[in-house]
Amino acid sequence: MDQVLGQVLRNAVWERLDMLSDLANRADAQSLVSVARSELPRLTEGWRAMLQAHEPDERGDCPTCSTRWHRCKAPCSVWQVAHEHLVAGGLAPQARTAVRAQEEAHPTRRRVPNQARRATPAETTGRHALVNPRAVTA
């Protein structure tokens, strides 16, 4: 059941991001201003909450990314992605960053925009279908 809940949450987030991207690309100026006023505060608070969870501890490790057996030194990949997208933006060098290296080393963990990713078996009944009915057992 956790897998189904996880898929529901992921699909909801992907759909919200798709909707915001579509609005940014297609909406008129007045609609964009309205969306920006309502969504930008939510997005910035979301970034703040996520980054707060990845603040380094007294040893300089990320408490969220670290495990008992492997410590992850700050800045972790979440902070690196935040900097790349929020600060460096389009001016960031196209060199292979630590985040890209990690994605290449762990392709199953890679975060790919919805338009470019392949559908998983649980998504075969629609754009963001929740569960393949044949995959659910009672």
**HEC letters along the chain:** CHHHHHHHHHHHHHHHHHHHHHHHHHCCHHHHHHHHHHHHHHHHHHHHHHHHHCCCCCCCECCCCCCCCCCCECCCHHHHHHHHHHHHHHHCCCCCCHHHHHHHHCHHHCCCCCCCCCCCHHHCCCCCCCCCHHHCCC
Residue 85, pLDDT > 60, answer yes
Q: Where are the domains of the chain?
A: 1-53+117-138, 56-105
Residue 38, pLDDT > 70, answer yes
Name the band, by pLDDT with cuts 50, 70 and 90, for residue 90. low
Q: Distance (Å, rounded) from C-alpha 17 to C-alpha 73?
A: 29
Name the band, by pLDDT with cuts 50, 70 and 90, for residue 2. confident
pLDDT tens readout for residues 7-36: 999 999 999 999 999 999 999 999 999 999
Percent of the chain with pLDDT over 90: 57
Q: Which residues pair with 61 in a beta bridge?
A: 73
Whole-prediction pTM: 0.60
Residue 89, pLDDT > 90, answer no
Q: What is the pLDDT of residue 138?
A: 41
The residue ranking higher by pLDDT, 63 or 115, is: 63
